[in-house]
Structure 1
Amino acid sequence: MEKSTQIFGLRAIIEAINANEAIDKIFLQKGLSGDIYKELEDTIKSKRLNASYVPVEKLNKLTDKNHQGAVAQIAPIEFHDLDNLYENVIQTESKPLFLILDQLSDVRNFGAIIRTAECTGVSGIIIQKKGGAPVNGDTIKTSAGAVFKIPICKVDHIKDALFFFQANEVNVIAATEKTEKLVYDMDFNLPCAIIMGSEGKGINPSVLKMVEHKAKLPLKGKIESLNVSVACGAFLYEALRQRL
């Protein structure tokens, strides 16, 4: 059952953080001050949580309650630790397939990708703690419930996941137009991790520099890019086709 996905009020959010609630994202009103507000900021920093500073109008859209300048979104799922997930996966899968999402911002794209990942046998999805779309009601709805069936990990930075996979000899493949190689030239019959970039910016250049294998999809039309969830689906189904 989906639990409540929202907490509002300064003290309530502090208490939720200290109680180790699975907080996905916190929205703070720009320009506020005061002792409790400062205490909340310090608590957020100490726990390395994801917070965004927004106009009061944004908070008023999130809730009609007395939010006091702070609204937190609770993840309806438990996030996994990457080390533990990997250890569990390699006990049962010789060729695990992971998906790394570099700061996707649209929750519906996120949900659609989760659904496709579950359908194509992805072992786990890795996202960054800060800067990406939250797991909320829209994500759940668009994923058709797949969000409850596939492990999702949060890392401090996408580079942390890359270092981890490279150290464990997992073949990392970046989906980018900045290459001449097509997705069909890649060998997915190995332990693999596919990286997809954000809707507007693609994969962060500093992340892309770390990746040896890069691939793109052929485009015949006049529009130069695909929706990220569609592109992700094409990559995942090519991986699945090779593995069948």
Structure 2
Amino acid sequence: MQNQTQIFGIRAIIEAINADKTIDKVFLQKGLKGDLYSELETLIRKQSINMAYVPIEKLNRLTKKNHQGAVANISPVDFFNIEDLVLNTIEAGKTPLFLLLDQLSDVRNFGAIIRTAECTGVNGIIFQKKGGAPVNGDTIKTSAGAVFKIPLCKVDHIKDAVFYMQASGIKVIAATEKTENSLYDISFKEPCAIIMGSEDRGINPSTLKVVDEKAKLPLLGDIESLNVSVACGAFLYEAVRQRISISN
């Protein structure tokens, strides 16, 4: 299994970014100063790379090497461009089914969703560059290797992906409890993209305002919500059920 690669040292990380390596996250030492450090900070912000300022103790736990106040994780997978992903799917004659993830934070939920998405024929998974779970060893393990079999795409803002889907003739459906519409009343037979929200707050309210349809799962017990990966599986398999009925 391919693992996430760790690099350390300010200049090494700068060179990796300039070489177009897919950096998943950079950890920078709090309070560090210097021209090279400032150059790295500027480059990280320019490229919209996920970044965290941490105490030196955290960096020392990440690596025993001379990190110079900077450690980065290079993603083990390559990411697709959203325009190419959508265009290639349409040109292949498929009825698009995409999955948008609005800042999911748990890597195991992320991995489980990737696995289910691959099993249900999802054409690609789109998520934000910042604020979400990384593609790391835990994600790969939980996905049972599905991360290497399904296109993944990072965007600056999930709302941008919503607008692009809509402009491409793809209906955007939000999985949310903030609706009276049942999942089973929604049509997934045409080109569509399903948005799943984060574990703690669901889908961003500003994103909910621009989707085409909203749907919820019926909950018959006392618990008010499902685990996001379980809910995602229910939505995707309803899409599969409807699309199978067309082909038959």
Which TM class, normalised by the smaller chain length?
over 0.9
Percentage identity across paired residues of the two chains:
72
Shift of 1:12: 1.2
Residue 182 of structure 1 corresponds to 182
**SS across alignment from 2:116:** helix
- Identify if the C-alpha distance between structure 1 residues 209 and 58 changes in structure 2 by more than 3 Å, giving closer, same or farther: farther
Q: Equivalent residue of 2:83, what SS?
A: helix
- d(CA) in 1 for partners of 2:214, 2:203: 11
Give the length in aligned residue pairs. Answer: 244
Contact kept in structure 1, 2:105 and 2:131, CA below 8 Å: yes
- Report if the CA contact (8 A) 2:3-2:137 is conserved: no
Question: Aligned AA for 1:191?
Answer: P
Question: Unaligned stretches of 5+ in structure 1?
Answer: none
Contact 2:3 2:136 in 1 (8 A): no
Alignment of 1:50-89 (within 5 A): 50-89=50-89
Q: Which stretch of the first structure deviates more once superposed, 107-116 or 27-36?
A: 27-36
Q: Quote how far apart the aligned CAs of 1:3 are.
A: 5.3
Q: What letter corresponds to residue 221 of structure 1 in structure 2?
A: G
Amino acid in structure 1 at the alignment position of 2:178: K
Question: Given that residues 9 and 66 in structure 1 are in contact (C-alpha distance below 8 angstroms), is that contact kept between their aligned partners in structure 2?
Answer: yes
- 1:156-211, CA deviations, whole angstroms, 9 ceiling, x for partnerless residues? 11011011011111010000000011111110001010000011111111111111
The answer for the alignment partner of 1:196 in structure 2 is 196
Do the aligned residues in 2 keep the contact of 1:5 with 1:136 (CA within 8 Å)? no
Q: In structure 2, the residue corresponding to 1:24 is in which secondary structure?
A: strand
Distance in 1 separating the partners of 2:106 and 2:4:
21
**Which residue is equivalent to 1:102?**
102
Task: Tell me, in whole angstroms, the C-alpha distance in 2 between the residues paired with 1:56 and 1:216.
Answer: 45
1 CA distance for matches of 2:243 and 2:192? 12
Query: How much has 1:4 moved relative to structure 2?
Result: 4.8
Contact (CA 8 Å) 2:100, 2:127: kept in 1 or not?
A: yes
Separation (CA, whole Å) in 1 of partners of 2:122 and 2:97: 5
Per mean C-alpha deviation after superposition, the further-off stretch among 134-143 and 27-36 is 27-36
Specify the alignment match of 1:121 in structure 2.
121
Cα distance, 1:38 vs. partner?
0.8
Checking the alignment, whether the CA contact within 8 Å between 1:184 and 1:238 is kept in structure 2 is yes
CA distance in 1, matches of 2:133, 2:4: 18
Contact 1:26 1:70 in 2 (8 A): yes
How far apart are residue 45 of structure 1 and its match? 1.8
Gaps of 5+ in 2: none
Matches within 5 A, 1:122-137: 122-137=122-137
Kept in 2, the 8 Å contact 1:182–1:216? The answer is yes
Which amino acid is 2:101 matched to? Answer: L
Separation in 1 of the partners of 2:209 and 2:25?
28
RMSD: 1.4
Query: How do 1:1-244 residues align onto structure 2 when only pairs under 5 Å count?
Result: 2=2, 4-244=4-244
- Aligned equivalents of 2:177 and 2:61: distance in 1? 37
Name the SS for the 1:42 alignment partner.
helix
